[in-house]
Structure 1
Amino acid sequence: MNFNLDSFSIVILAQAHNPSILNPDFLRNQGIIDPSFKPNNIICTPPVAQVSYIEGVSIIAEFEKLQFIDSEPKRIPFESPILEIATKYINTLPHVRYTAVGLNYNGHYRCKDKEFALSFLPNKFLKEGSWATYGDSIPYIGLKFIYPLENIRCTINIDTTEVVRPNESPQTIIGITANYHLDSNNIEEIILFINNWKTQYNHFSKIILDTFLEGE
């Protein structure tokens, strides 16, 4: 099985973001976004604002949450522009009362067939029992792992689910999401955490490699 990383995002929490300032002109004029990027979806309302670009980057601002999302699989996370975009954004607004930051990785394994996908998690993590079947049905399994890493909390969710893509038959996959969360009201500490993203990604990569290579 090969792991596919679908999206990479940075979420910054604060007591009072200002969604109304988020628009393509603000991002370009402040030097936050590459001027060559072309916006293709813009929402500007008092409670939430969103600017998305055809290059695969989206920025979403709410009162208490700011999201930077990259959905271009060919470059994430190593060449993702959101690392620089996020740090430039909060440096532009240093007086906002930031409270936490999170790094998020969202991906999946495509399995050889539905039976393998449904049996992988229970075979690896769970004890056999009557719960494993109900009639002729095998349950879809979801697991959550929470790792305290000094001042960082890591939450990894693994579950089996079915996806339907245009012009394709439904396929059962093993979905994996990881969140690395740091509580901090110090902008320098938040930026340092973002810049050290490789440490968290290496931790995530080791977990999924150890888990799934052992299961093959």
Structure 2
Amino acid sequence: MNLKMKIVPLEFSIVVVGEDCNPTILNPDFLKYQQIVPEEWEWELAAAPLTTRGISVVAYTSGIMLKVEPNRFQVTEVNQCSDITDSKAISIARRYVEVLPHVKYTAVGTNFRGFSQIENPNEFLKARFIKPGPWDQQPLDLKAVTLSFAYAHEDARLTLALEGRVILHQQEEQTQQIFGVDISGNYHRECHGYPTNDMVLAHIAKAKSDAAHFGTMADELLFAGAS
């Protein structure tokens, strides 16, 4: 088995936690007129927007989705951007905070999810991380492994998670199962005091360096020392 596999990015998101984020204001017109999603981008909606007091969602065919709940807003980009330096999610999150500077923001999370194709992911994770013992001997039979690692990284708390997964790949009229390891990372940073909008913007600006660090950490966890 060749373990020197590429980690394919699947998802990138920025989550900003706050008080009274007011989901009812989120709709395509608000995003357009406030230049959060400028008209010149010519983005089309992927589905009808949802606007309620409890949750609002606007999704575009570009792969960007905005979701607002009373205690947070989230910008997610799925399957579209191999290099987050090109991601519109960062500028959208930044502009959203600039438009609403008076919300009491309390934390920022930058999140990454990737996938590495490995033929037998659970056996790979067991061999790499789990010491043989009674937890994997008869009468017990360990079927799957999910791992979580917590680190301090500069001013962030970093959590990395590994899990064996099967994804479906549609090619023409056939659906193919691809086995591999799903790796996700969350960089969590607190915001203290009020107002915190400048601190939030500073944390959002670290998304690009977080992405580079996540790539290095993912390679280290999965492949360092493997032959």
TM-score by length of 1: 0.91
- Structure 1 residue ranges without an equivalent (≥5): none
- Residue of structure 2 equivalent to 1:173: 180
Distance 2:70 2:202 in 1: 23
Deviation (angstroms), 1:202: 2.0
For residues 180-213 of structure 1, the C-alpha deviation after alignment (integer angstroms, 9 at most, x for no partner) is 0001042111111111222222221111112233
Distance 1:27 1:174 in 2: 36
Contact 1:59 1:67 in 2 (8 A): yes
- Residue of structure 2 equivalent to 1:5: 9
Question: Aligned match of 2:206 in 196, 199, 213?
Answer: 196
For residues 105-156 of structure 1, the C-alpha deviation after alignment (integer angstroms, 9 at most, x for no partner) is 0111111x23xx1222221222112433557965211110011224310000
Deviation (angstroms), 1:76: 4.1
Q: Does 1:39 align with 2:49?
A: no
Larger deviation, residues 130-139 vs 154-163? 130-139
Deviation (angstroms), 1:74: 3.7
| 1:46/1:212 CA distance change after superposition, 3 Å | same
Contact 1:118 1:138 in 2 (8 A): no
Deviation (angstroms), 1:40: 2.4
| 1:72/1:169 CA distance change after superposition, 3 Å | closer
Distance 1:76 1:23 in 2: 27
Deviation (angstroms), 1:59: 0.3
Contact 1:14 1:100 in 2 (8 A): yes
- Structure 2 residue ranges without an equivalent (≥5): none
Contact 1:10 1:67 in 2 (8 A): yes
Matched position secondary structure for 2:86: coil
| 1:213/1:176 CA distance change after superposition, 3 Å | same
Q: Does 1:161 align with 2:165?
A: yes
For residues 13-44 of structure 1, the C-alpha deviation after alignment (integer angstroms, 9 at most, x for no partner) is 00110100000000000111131111222111
Distance 1:144 1:14 in 2: 26
| 1:195/1:150 CA distance change after superposition, 3 Å | closer
- Residue of structure 1 equivalent to 2:131: 127
| 1:197/1:68 CA distance change after superposition, 3 Å | same
Question: Aligned match of 1:206 in 197, 216, 226?
Answer: 216
Deviation (angstroms), 1:169: 4.0
For residues 50-100 of structure 1, the C-alpha deviation after alignment (integer angstroms, 9 at most, x for no partner) is 000111110000000101001133444121001001010111001111110
Contact 1:8 1:76 in 2 (8 A): no
Question: Aligned match of 2:111 in 104, 128, 146?
Answer: 104
Distance 1:110 1:95 in 2: 44
Letter in 2 for 1:183: E
Q: Does 1:91 align with 2:76?
A: no
Contact 1:49 1:60 in 2 (8 A): yes
Distance 2:210 2:46 in 1: 31
- Residue of structure 1 equivalent to 2:143: 139
- Residue of structure 1 equivalent to 2:61: 54
TM-score by length of 2: 0.87
Deviation (angstroms), 1:3: 0.5
Question: Aligned match of 1:17 in 11, 18, 21?
Answer: 21
Larger deviation, residues 135-144 vs 16-25? 135-144
Distance 2:81 2:62 in 1: 11
> Identical aligned pairs, as a percentage?
27
Contact 2:106 2:191 in 1 (8 A): yes
